[in-house]
């Protein structure tokens, strides 16, 4: 999306939104909730067929009202489950300082500095995501094995009622952040006002809205209600498959393993995540607030949901191919990000692929007028393509989908969505970098000409 500053370099100034960006924002605000409902409803009522609801509507076999009437509604029991879930994650996030970094070699946790904001500020964060994930899952398995407080299928059994609860939280936190930015912003100099209420609401005004010293909206909602839940949701799907069919298919195991690796990687590298686009460049609005509460847990887990309705047992060769694709994608994704992190931490004084790295020296100014210097890595995977970490991410995404076989298109929504998302991020990131670095960015793109796929794009 193209947004032009009327006063260049000032994060708190008025910005102007072009018509294409405005139309895109309004369309997403209107249609994104319906997309989530459509896919979940298709599984619940039409055996995961994407086309069948439309065909039956066209033939007159069903109506929009009859589809709506058959969908499970909001329930107070689901609201209690969701409230306990979010409350427990808030408690772990705020009240249980990280201790895992003290005894797990190589893990970086505890209080860490974030990246410099557009206004030149550096926030501190309590990194305890891995600890939250471990505690949550230890309790989950302890309940399943010993305590039996609730069924392991509790998430699947309340999936649509929980969706209404997630929507309520997503809209509530987005609206609160929107109002807060006008009344009591955390850092006024890092606010971005466009003059357009729809864009402000969706893309956010505040850069790092906080309550108190440590409750950071971006870090919490990006990493806790959705991503901690991701693996629990898959475990609930696996439990439901076992309950319905008396067995768990190798495809369900693959989805749990491959997506579990991705989630664990996220929390292992949470301190590194502070330097990524979500934290470094995105403001907090509906895009992140509602997206992390609803879009992520409901659409990123479609493969497991599909396998509850359509258990797929892959051949040994197919299962091995999917596993290898997923592991190779993860290796490229992690190795590429590790190379950049290593390069940053040592300011270029390191080795990548056995040799001293090459780079482009750049300079830029922050919103406060300060002159800063940066280095753009052109060695290792970063010399292969400018966003080769996204290439690995897409390979992993394809593996999740391929584990479901070729019977339906619904599980493949994820790879389509991720391709659109990451290509858009490439373009958006490069537009930002071009504005930030100017001629130095042109030197970098000349040195590394491809974005994702060498020789192709």
What is the token pair recorded at 282? 């995105």
How much is the pLDDT for 209? 93
| pLDDT tens digits for range 201-228 | 999 999 999 999 899 999 999 888 889 9
Per-residue pLDDT at 435 exceeds 50: yes
How much is the pLDDT for 274? 86
Per-residue pLDDT at 263 exceeds 50: yes
Q: Say how far apart CA 343 and CA 359 lie, in whole Å.
A: 10
Cβ atoms of residues 169 and 225 within 8 Å: yes
Burial of 122 (0-12, 13-18, 19+ CB in 10 A): exposed
Q: To the nearest 5 percent, what fractions of the chain are helix, strand and coil? A: 60, 10, 30
Count of beta carbons in the 10 Å neighbourhood of residue 166: 26
Range in 69-73, 275-279, 326-330, 342-346 the model is least confident about = 275-279
| pLDDT tens digits for range 264-316 | 999 999 988 888 777 778 899 999 999 999 999 999 999 999 999 999 999 99
pLDDT band at 13 (very low <50, low <70, confident <90, very high): very low
Count of beta carbons in the 10 Å neighbourhood of residue 97: 13
Q: Say how far apart CA 323 and CA 319 lie, in whole Å.
A: 6
How much is the pLDDT for 6? 33
Average the pLDDT over 369-378 and give the result: 84
Within its chain, how far is the Cα of 84 from the centroid? 22
pLDDT band at 15 (very low <50, low <70, confident <90, very high): low
How much is the pLDDT for 404? 97
How much is the pLDDT for 9? 36
Per-residue pLDDT at 11 exceeds 80: no
What is the token pair recorded at 190? 């890092």
pLDDT band at 367 (very low <50, low <70, confident <90, very high): low
Higher pLDDT, 10 or 288: 288
How much is the pLDDT for 115? 82
Average the pLDDT over 47-59 and give the result: 95
What SS3 state is found at 374?
Answer: strand
Per-residue pLDDT at 56 exceeds 90: yes
Q: Say how far apart CA 255 and CA 234 lie, in whole Å.
A: 8
User: Which residues, in sequence order, are CB contacts of 263 under 8 Å at separation 6+?
Assistant: 133, 227, 228, 230, 231
How much is the pLDDT for 16? 60
What SS3 state is found at 395?
Answer: helix
Average the pLDDT over 411-428 and give the result: 93
As beta bridge partners, residue 359 has 377
The beta strand positions in 334-455, using DSSP E, are 359-365, 371-377
Per-residue pLDDT at 387 exceeds 80: yes
Range in 154-158, 282-286, 343-347 the model is least confident about = 343-347
**DSSP state, residue 455:** T
pLDDT band at 356 (very low <50, low <70, confident <90, very high): very high
How much is the pLDDT for 368? 66
Helix axes 19-46, 52-59, angle to 10 degrees: 90
Q: Say how far apart CA 47 and CA 366 lie, in whole Å.
A: 52
Average the pLDDT over 226-239 and give the result: 97
Per-residue pLDDT at 455 exceeds 70: yes
Average the pLDDT over 161-182 and give the result: 96
Per-position b or e across 180-205, b if 16+ CB within 10 A of its CB: bbeeebbbebbbbebebebbbbbbbb
What is the token pair recorded at 301? 């887990």
What is the token pair recorded at 146? 């010993």
How much is the pLDDT for 17? 63
What is the token pair recorded at 164? 């209404």
Q: What dihedral do alpha carbons 268, 271, 273, 279 form, nearest 10°?
A: 150
| pLDDT tens digits for range 80-111 | 999 999 999 999 999 999 999 999 999 999 99
Count of beta carbons in the 10 Å neighbourhood of residue 46: 19
Q: Say how far apart CA 254 and CA 400 lie, in whole Å.
A: 8
Tell me the average pLDDT of the chain: 91
Per-residue DSSP letters for 182-222? HHS-S-GGG--B-S-HHHHHHH-S-SS-EETTTEEHHHHHH
Q: Say how far apart CA 260 and CA 134 lie, in whole Å.
A: 12
């Amino acid at each position: 999306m193209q947004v032009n500053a009327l006063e260049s370099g000032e994060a708190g100034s008025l910005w102007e939104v072009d018509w294409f960006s405005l139309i895109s924002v309004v369309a997403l605000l209107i249609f994104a909730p319906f997309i989530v409902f459509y896919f979940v409803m298709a599984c619940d009522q039409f055996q995961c067929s994407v086309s069948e609801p439309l065909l039956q509507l066209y033939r007159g076999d069903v109506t929009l009202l009859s589809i709506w009437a058959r969908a499970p509604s909001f329930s107070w029991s689901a609201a209690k489950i969701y409230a306990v879930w979010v409350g427990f994650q808030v408690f772990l996030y705020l009240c249980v300082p990280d201790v895992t970094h003290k005894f797990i070699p190589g893990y970086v946790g505890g209080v860490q500095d974030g990246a410099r904001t557009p206004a030149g500020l550096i926030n501190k964060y309590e990194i305890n995501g891995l600890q939250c994930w471990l505690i949550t899952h230890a309790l989950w398995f302890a309940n399943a094995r010993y305590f039996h407080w609730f069924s392991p299928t509790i998430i699947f059994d309340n999936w649509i009622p929980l969706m209404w609860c997630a929507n309520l939280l997503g809209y509530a936190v987005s609206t609160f952040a929107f109002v807060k930015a006008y009344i009591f912003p955390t850092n006024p100099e890092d606010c971005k006002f466009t003059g357009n209420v729809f864009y402000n609401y969706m893309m956010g005004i505040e850069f790092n809205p906080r309550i108190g010293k440590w409750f950071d909206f971006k870090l919490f909602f990006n990493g806790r209600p959705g991503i901690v839940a991701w693996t629990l949701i898959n475990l609930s799907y696996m439990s439901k498959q076992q309950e319905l069919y008396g067995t768990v298919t190798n495809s369900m195991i693959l989805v749990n393993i491959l997506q579990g690796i991705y989630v664990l990687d996220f929390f292992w590298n949470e301190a590194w995540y502070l330097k990524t686009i979500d934290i470094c460049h995105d403001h907090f609005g509906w895009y992140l607030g509602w997206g992390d509460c609803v879009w992520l847990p409901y659409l990123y887990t479609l493969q497991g949901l599909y396998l509850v309705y359509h258990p797929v047992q892959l051949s040994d060769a197919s299962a091995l191919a999917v596993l290898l694709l997923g592991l190779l994608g993860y290796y490229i994704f992690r190795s590429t990000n590790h190379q950049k992190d290593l390069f940053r931490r040592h300011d270029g004084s390191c080795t990548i692929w056995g040799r001293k790295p090459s780079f482009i020296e750049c300079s830029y100014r922050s919103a406060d007028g300060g002159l800063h210097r940066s280095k753009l890595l052109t060695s290792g995977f970063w010399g292969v393509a400018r966003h080769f970490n996204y290439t690995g991410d897409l390979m992993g995404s394809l593996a999740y989908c391929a584990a479901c076989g070729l019977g339906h298109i619904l599980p493949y929504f994820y790879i389509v969505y991720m391709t659109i998302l990451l290509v858009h991020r490439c373009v958006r990131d490069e537009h930002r970098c071009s504005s930030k670095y100017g001629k130095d960015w042109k030197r970098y793109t000349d040195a590394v000409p491809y974005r994702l796929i060498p020789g192709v794009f």
